[in-house]
Amino acid sequence: MNFGMPLLILMIAYFIGTHLEKRHFQSILKREDEARGFPVVSFDTMPDNWTASRSDLVSGSVVISLDYFKRVIAGLRGLIGGRIKTYEPLLDRARREAVLRMIEDARSQGYDAVFNVRLETSRLANATRNGKGTAGVEMLAYGTAVKFASRFANAQ
Q: Under the rule (CB under 8 A), what is the footprint of another protein?
A: 14, 18, 29, 32, 36-45, 47-49, 69-70, 72-74, 76-89, 91-92, 95, 99, 113, 117-123, 132-134, 137, 154-156
User: How large is the C-alpha radius of gyration of the chain?
Assistant: 20
Instruction: Look up residue 138 and give its amino acid.
Output: E
- Are 32 and 96 contacting, i.e. CB atoms less than 8 angstroms apart? yes
Shortest spacing between CB 87 and another protein, in angstroms: 4
- Residue number with CB closer to another protein (32 or 56): 32
Identity of the residue, 56 or 92, whose beta carbon is nearer to another protein in the bound complex: 92
As measured in angstroms, the least distance from the Cβ of 40 to another protein is 5
Query: Which residues have C-beta within 8 Å of that of residue 81, sequence separation ≥ 6?
Result: none
Q: Pick between residue 42 and residue 150 the one whose CB is nearest to another protein.
A: 42
Closest approach, Cβ 81 to another protein, in A, equals 3
Evaluate the CA torsion angle 99, 105, 108, 109 in order and state its sign.
Answer: negative
Q: Which is nearer to another protein, 54 or 118 (CB)?
A: 118
Closest approach, Cβ 19 to another protein, in A, equals 13
Nearest alpha carbon to residue 139 among 106, 90, 104: 90
Of 145, 153, 60, 140, residue with least CA distance to 109: 145
70/101 with CB nearer another protein: 70
In angstroms, give the least distance from the CB of 133 to another protein.
7
Query: What's the CA gap between 152 and 111, in Å, rounded?
Result: 14
